[in-house]
Structure 1
Amino acid sequence: MNRKQILGIALLSAISLVGCQKKDASLMVATKISANWTFHQADKEEWLPATVPGCVHTDLLANGKIEDPFYRLNEHKLQWIDKVNWEYKTTFNIDPDAIKRDRIALDFKGLDTYADVFVNGTQVLSADNMFREWLVDVKPQVKEGANELRILFRSPIIEGLKKYDANGYVIPVSDNDQAINGEVPDGKMVSVYTRKAGYHFGWDWGPRLVSSGLWRPVYLTVWDDARIENLQLKQNSVSEKEASLTAVFEIEANAVNEATVTIQNDGNELARTNIKLTKGISTYPVDFKIENPKLWWTNGLGEAHLYNIKGKLEIGKRITEKSERIGIRTLQLVRDKDANGTSFYFKLNGVPVFMKGANYIPNDVFPARVTDEMYQKVINTSKISNFNMLRIWGGGIYENDRLYDLCDQNGILVWQDFMFACAMFPGDDAFLENVKQEAADNIKRMRNHPSIAMWCGNNEILAAWFGWGWKQKEEAKSKENADKIWKSYTDIFHHILPDAVATYDPGRSYWDSSPCAGMGNPSDLNNGDDHYWGVWWGKDPFKMYATHIARFMSEYGFQSFPEMKTVKQYATPEDYDIFSEVMKSHQRSSIGNGTIEYYMLQDYKKPKNFESFLYVNHVLQAEGIKFALEGHRRAAPFCMGSLVWQINDCWPVASWSSTDYYQRWKALQYFAKKGFEPVLVSPYTNNDSLKVDIINDKLSEIKAQLVTKVLDFDGKEIWKETKDVTVPANSSNTFFGTKNSDFMKNIQANKQLFVVELVENNAIISTNTLYFKPIKDVLLPKPDVKFEINAVQDGFEISLSTDKLAKNLYMTIGDEEGFFSDNYFDLIPAQPVKIKLETKLTKEKLQEVFAIQTLDGAF
């Protein structure tokens, strides 16, 4: 929409909409209602300024009425907020021309959650789903001049309690619903009765902050004759010569009329069709072709090429239009029977692709606070870390369009959960209808994104019912109620959601629950995806990651605290103990800090102080997950996906994240970057064998030399072997193997390490190391690390060298901001490295704050 088309918009004291001035104007214009909002607690007199989009908590914080919920124990003081009603209001103005428009509507992109909407004192809407969009006709209620918009947000806890008490039986919910922490009467877990982000009620990595408000924008929209409700772009077929597509216009018309619809690609008209509009909402398909199409590829395999498609609706000289970006590609979830069971992998443009990435949760517990910069940062992290998939987890939100746009641009596929996690749900008609509309809203909003790989019904509910004992527990209480609970499950996940996908996005796959082995079948290692939590919850050793492997590993992880700089932002020195009240509160796993310590003492000596504990914890997490990253990739093509839990945090906390709330990289993110390189050389032990595998994700073979050697900690070469190798395209194979007991006869296991390099055209394209003993049993030397700092564009280049092994070298710049291109790595004698530091610091300041830590100094 250009400036000449927006004839209906002017800013008055609040929001003003100027009517259509002439007959060749746009059919439809919209303006955001974002100014002059105020809010108050519904039973109090005081009105305060509000921000829209936003929420009650952030507005209270901005007005100085509450303290930062993330700081120390403040969260616990704020549990009263979700048990009262809140009211928001503003005024918009409509001029004499606007009032003459055929239709005037309010378009709410997100109301959280129980919201009664009034225009000039008349109720026009009662919303009850955070995840839906609400378009409501207000022409009968508005008048020329000033109009009042008022929204009453009813307490989600009070509303939930009403439904809980009326249900007749208790629906099973995991203890991620922190009702007791939230001071809910009798600890009643009411989250499942409200279509609202599950993580707001708490999770084992998140706080309990149940908010309300206009969390996405609201628009005042006016139009004449007709508007484009939705534009679906369906790919029918694709070849090197052409792609055949259909644009499906979903048009709401006020009356029968003659119209023309056109499709353009980057301004070039591809199709034009005359149609006859019928009153109401109808669809109108238009076929078109794109010649010599450029395909959309995932990160690492090619360009994520996008086409800018515009659909136009013309009635006389009036026009309205809708733009979408698409990628042309074929993508299928392959479920073929084989000797092991049933495959589970994605084939992109005819190529089987190993999925590398992470699970993604909302970037903030208050989602309206997430900025474009935050989205860009997390997707840039994914891209430079060699990810090609993110799983949008089912206890958060259907993300903003901006996130999917960035995934489209950067070749990151999205495994998209529907918003259901770790709980059974009601099955009454009103709830099921609400879910049906929620699914339609979100599928239609997101389906044109080439990044959307698959729709998944829920997170871990099938696993909970069959594997966590829920089914047996409920049947023991009442077989009748247990049957009702299971019927609700099948109604939602075996009927409503797959039917919605089949109706609105038939080209994509549906998977009913993660993990599972197929519709209604609990997960196993041979037939679907798996969440492996034996490491962590079961206290299995890290090496189990390399043997407990399914067809697709969609969740696994290990915890760490944030770095010291982040801890300082939510705690004070008196809190610097992992068992302090603040540290325990910023740790929501029921076994959290003790489990971190347990695993640490298996492989490392006890750190000498709190800051050293954080550093060793980062190393522990990264080295542990390294077993999984490499083990999963070595297992291809049996295993074809590895998604670590999790890439981000919604507040500063000890969690499984690889980047913390401020998106500062932990050691794990650096290790994931290396573990997901397109070409990976991986040394490991298997029973009594010492092996080296080479994984090549590229679509062309590699001719190289495999160099295997043993070095002592002074860098002296003890043993070396070089062999020529040809590594097939898109493959994982073993290229070196020997009996470990024989190999170790001449090795000093506590003073030497195994180093592997893959060399192509005299350049090392992949390198890796293997230690023969746990680090607590290794005689780590005290290295003398030399460094030189030189200014380069956007920061500095740091040249590093050492006289002895510098294990897990960690560079910091105190409390200043910056990003190191690599960190927590092993610096080997006679193998100097250069690291880029992106920062705005001066050289003088950098030299003042720059510091290096190595593992030998942590104990």
Structure 2
Amino acid sequence: MNKILWFAFFCCSIGGILGCSPEKEIRTEIASGWQFRQKDSGEWLPATVPGTVHTDLMANGKIEDPFYRMNELGLQWIDKKDWEYKTVFFVDGNLIEKKNQRLIFKGLDTYADVYLNGEQLGSADNMFRTWVFDIAGKLKAGNNELRVVFASPTRRGLEEMKRYGLRLPADNDQSERGEMGKDRVSVYTRKAPYHYGWDWGPRLVTSGIWRPVQLEAWDGMKVEDVYIKQAEVSGKLAALSANVRVKADDVQNVEVEILNDGKILVAAKEKLKKGENDISVPFDIVNPRLWWSNGLGKQNLYTFTIRVKGDRGIIAEKEVTTGLRSLKLVRKKDQWGESFGFELNGIPVFAKGANVIPNDIFLPRVTPELYEKMIADAANANMNMLRIWGGGIYEDDVFFELCDRYGIMVWHDFMFACAMYPGNEEFLNNVRQEAIDNVVRLRNHPCIALWCGNNENALAWRHGSPGGWGWKQQFTKEQQDTVFKAYYDVFHDLLPRVVDEYMPGCDYWPSSPMAGPEPTQHGLDGTTSGDQHYWGVWHGFRPLESYDEVTTRFCSEYGFQSFPEMSTIQKYALPEDYDIDSDVMKSHQRSYIGNGRILDYMKMYYRVPEDFEQFIYMTHVLQGLSTKMAIEAHRRNMPYCMGSLVWQLNDCWSVASWSTTDYYHKWKTAHYMIRDCFKEVIVAPKWQNDSLLVYAVSDCLRPMNAELSIEVMDFSGKIICMEKSDVEIPANTSTVLAGTKCSSLLCGLTGADVLAVIRLTSEGQVVDEKNMYFEYHKDLNLPKDPGLSIRVQEEGKDKYILVTANELACNVMFALPGGMAFFSDNYIDILPGRTYKIKVKTELSLAEIERQIKYRYLR
């Protein structure tokens, strides 16, 4: 469907500009009538804009779904070809008469030449930039032809690599899969790195008009941009300034007004020069309604209207929405080293969240509804921060609007990851404009907490020290100096200067992870300072207990893989593929150690099932256990540790990966665990030698009085022993509530036959409850048949299942056909003697739920 955007008091038709007031700005999207073809060959076929070559080829039946089985391998020819798009759009006399006319491409992927009525307007060479072309005098009344020609991104990348003269490291570029041998060309092109492959993604190197195309025209004056600069914000006063950029056709005297809710807050008289004018209008808001992150308070937002008035009234205006807050990265020397954590409105905030990658390999398929599902999933799992990882894209505006609304702080990498990059003047100038475009676009969003230069580049290179990923060894000393100078120029000079100039007051961090920005700390993974990516679990094959043994001030990456659930696997594989060693299953597993590593860890903690579907379920249980142990370890170490960002929230296709919600945004076990472990107050028990230590962790800003109970029972529900005590939980920290010897809890029984239920209760309500097992699950004497029983009931419009068991059932997973039902609790232990009431969101009737519901549990 065509989208038409109006920023004035008129209406528009995509077929032509109708009845537009000559005093007002005209803006319309050119979204219909597009066609495409391989350059200079073949027939023109219908195309969708925004879109990609791959999705247009699919829509026209020219290629099969790249996600299905191993179709991806047969589609590597697409990025070796040039492609062209064209459309015809109608313009009437009202627009032609406007003095200022321009064409704006919000995103061109990537090397593109743009033609209007046969005349070349210019070229693009950066997927992340906004491309603006002045077309005054180039339009004609009636039909106009717009054509965009895309050059092969891989062929152009190869040319750039040869021109630069150095083969720079880019380990995740799957060049062999892309039929390019060892030519890893992704780093020479300013394009989403993950398109060239990653250890969770396919190699599908796209081309296309991936964001909207807009035509705009105006007379006299235009408000180009407004930045609400927040010099100082507290609960008593917000000292602000509206930094307004105005483009004027002539010298003139104007009045600039700043309004909120129809009320004029301030007005200032200005004399405009011809051309661009930068105006700063300071103003204050007394007792502002502050913006808070999820769990701390309301996400209050202000919409400001900026009006420019002349002798004849309003000439131009623009609206901007923001939230008022003070949000800082705090790095202070302390008894352990140097802190690393965020402070919001003067309150230290433990960052609870995840890393995000793009939601699809084909970006225009990501709708606002999918974005909202993603951000709601994060908020509903009690997250308050997301990290936009540097190998993807600068996300769509709607992503940040949703983070503003849901209270999700954003750590935003610039788009550089796991590689070294060129340092020639042309590349640096391109990157500088890319950074300006995106910092300016996003700087009014209160959710932005941090700009970070790159993902793991410093860790991989480790300048001035041995180690790293072995990159330095392939270069001479002179070449090493050249490569590192390019690194330093981008991440320690260019990018921080852009942030400081265009978003003053926002913190910048050169690379993640990093112990600190000083030269002696480059590439060091922070344990007593900075942030850390902890991959001892998974890549290092360390036991899950090592999360408690490794110190971190802020864990910005950690994770564990699982397969997607069966309903997702069935969309890309056939029954004959249901073996983790089949070609199809291995193709949908991009970690070179992936399947083997899952299997080895499963042997460590669980019994490995022979049945394929039970094995898939067990990968979820294992990932959930790892995620739970990591989060609890990080939160127990508060305030030494002040952040826990799991890798990763989402997928860009159907794949075995570290995601906690799959490509279709279905929750895995890990996401339920995240929700429970990121609650405001949790009980976080751990085994230490021969004792059970019980911690409570609270994000509350007030202390809490509660009752702690430790109940040991056998698997039939018989109580072996019980301990209760009154406790006080301090505000915004972690504390040990109790320590008990295992022998006193077991009362002479074996740990293979009992569990401990640790419960925290306050004012008659269960605050949190955790089950602790004395042995690994593989060594438990679990009942063969726990006697599960499920009933269904309806209350109003809500549907529920009521679940009971005769004996303990561990990690019970509920499912309905198609996998599109959502259970308010899932993958849970069902204790005997209890009834578990679980809400089910589904279109199925009660009778259909009762007939079709399935479940799995540990056997």
Q: Give the TM interval when normalised to the shorter protein.
A: over 0.9
User: 1:81-120 counterparts in 2 under 5 A?
Assistant: 81-120=78-117
User: 1:320-335 counterparts in 2 under 5 A?
Assistant: 320-335=316-331
User: 1:351-362 counterparts in 2 under 5 A?
Assistant: 351-362=347-358
User: 1:566-577 counterparts in 2 under 5 A?
Assistant: 566-577=568-579
The answer to whether the aligner puts 1:17 opposite 2:17 as a matched pair is yes
The answer to whether the aligner puts 1:397 opposite 2:393 as a matched pair is yes
In the alignment, residue 241 of structure 2 is paired with which amino acid? T
Deviates more, 1:707-716 or 1:583-592: 707-716
The answer to whether the aligner puts 1:817 opposite 2:820 as a matched pair is yes
The answer to whether the aligner puts 1:287 opposite 2:253 as a matched pair is no
Deviates more, 1:459-468 or 1:742-751: 742-751
User: 1:597-746 counterparts in 2 under 5 A?
Assistant: 597-740=599-742, 746=748
In the alignment, residue 311 of structure 1 is paired with which amino acid? I
Q: Find the partner of 1:588 among 580, 587, 590.
A: 590
2:49 maps to what in 1? 52
User: 1:474-553 counterparts in 2 under 5 A?
Assistant: 474=472, 477-519=475-517, 520=519, 521=521, 522-553=524-555
Offset at residue 460 of structure 1 (A): 0.3
CA contact (8 A) 1:19 1:95 kept: no
Q: Secondary structure at the match of 2:484?
A: helix
Q: Find the partner of 2:451 among 455, 464, 472.
A: 455
CA offsets 1:301-357 (integer angstroms, 9 cap, x no match) = 111111111222234335332222111111111100011111001111111110101
1:159 maps to what in 2? 156
Q: Secondary structure at the match of 2:103?
A: strand
1:179 maps to what in 2? 175
CA offsets 1:166-208 (integer angstroms, 9 cap, x no match) = 222211111x100100012x33000001100010000000000
Q: Find the partner of 1:780 among 776, 779, 782.
A: 782
CA distance in 2, matches of 1:198, 1:626: 31
The answer to whether the aligner puts 1:340 opposite 2:336 as a matched pair is yes
The answer to whether the aligner puts 1:768 opposite 2:761 as a matched pair is no
The answer to whether the aligner puts 1:565 opposite 2:567 as a matched pair is yes
CA distance in 1, matches of 2:710, 2:345: 36
Gaps of 5+ in 2: none
2:845 maps to what in 1? 842
Offset at residue 3 of structure 1 (A): 7.2
Q: Secondary structure at the match of 1:569?
A: helix
1:145 maps to what in 2? 142
Q: Secondary structure at the match of 1:231?
A: strand
Offset at residue 287 of structure 1 (A): 1.6
Distance 1:2-1:606 versus aligned 2 partners, 3 A rule? closer
Q: Secondary structure at the match of 2:198?
A: coil
CA distance in 1, matches of 2:476, 2:236: 62
Offset at residue 43 of structure 1 (A): 3.2
Offset at residue 21 of structure 1 (A): 3.9
The answer to whether the aligner puts 1:437 opposite 2:440 as a matched pair is no
Q: Secondary structure at the match of 1:699?
A: coil
Q: Secondary structure at the match of 1:568?
A: helix
In the alignment, residue 455 of structure 1 is paired with which amino acid? W
CA contact (8 A) 1:699 1:730 kept: yes
CA distance in 1, matches of 2:303, 2:138: 38
1:132 maps to what in 2? 129
Offset at residue 816 of structure 1 (A): 4.8
Distance 1:804-1:457 versus aligned 2 partners, 3 A rule? same
CA distance in 1, matches of 2:416, 2:188: 12
The answer to whether the aligner puts 1:64 opposite 2:61 as a matched pair is yes
CA contact (8 A) 1:19 1:98 kept: no
Offset at residue 108 of structure 1 (A): 0.8
The answer to whether the aligner puts 1:446 opposite 2:442 as a matched pair is yes
Gaps of 5+ in 1: none
- TM-score, scaled to structure 2: 0.97
Offset at residue 233 of structure 1 (A): 0.3
CA offsets 1:497-547 (integer angstroms, 9 cap, x no match) = 000000001111000000001115222300110001111111111111122
Deviates more, 1:637-646 or 1:247-256: 247-256
In the alignment, residue 458 of structure 2 is paired with which amino acid? L
The answer to whether the aligner puts 1:797 opposite 2:800 as a matched pair is yes
CA distance in 1, matches of 2:851, 2:309: 65
CA distance in 1, matches of 2:301, 2:589: 42
CA distance in 2, matches of 1:389, 1:841: 34
CA distance in 2, matches of 1:825, 1:560: 17
2:246 maps to what in 1? 251
Offset at residue 4 of structure 1 (A): 9.8
Identity of aligned residues (%): 49
Distance 1:354-1:816 versus aligned 2 partners, 3 A rule? closer
In the alignment, residue 479 of structure 1 is paired with which amino acid? K
CA contact (8 A) 2:235 2:290 kept: no
CA distance in 1, matches of 2:795, 2:68: 37
In the alignment, residue 197 of structure 2 is paired with which amino acid? G
Q: CA RMSD of the aligned region, Å?
A: 1.7
CA contact (8 A) 2:221 2:315 kept: no
Deviates more, 1:316-325 or 1:811-820: 316-325
Give the total of aligned pairs.
Answer: 848
CA contact (8 A) 1:41 1:87 kept: yes
Offset at residue 662 of structure 1 (A): 0.1
CA distance in 2, matches of 1:124, 1:656: 44
CA contact (8 A) 2:696 2:735 kept: yes
2:363 maps to what in 1? 367
In the alignment, residue 499 of structure 1 is paired with which amino acid? R
CA offsets 1:803-834 (integer angstroms, 9 cap, x no match) = 11110011010225210001001111122211
CA distance in 2, matches of 1:724, 1:3: 61
CA offsets 1:459-492 (integer angstroms, 9 cap, x no match) = 0000000189468643563111111100000000
Offset at residue 740 of structure 1 (A): 4.1
In the alignment, residue 709 of structure 1 is paired with which amino acid? E
1:191 maps to what in 2? 186
- TM-score, scaled to structure 1: 0.97
In the alignment, residue 543 of structure 2 is paired with which amino acid? P
In the alignment, residue 678 of structure 2 is paired with which amino acid? F
Offset at residue 548 of structure 1 (A): 1.4
Q: Secondary structure at the match of 2:41?
A: coil
CA distance in 2, matches of 1:497, 1:477: 26
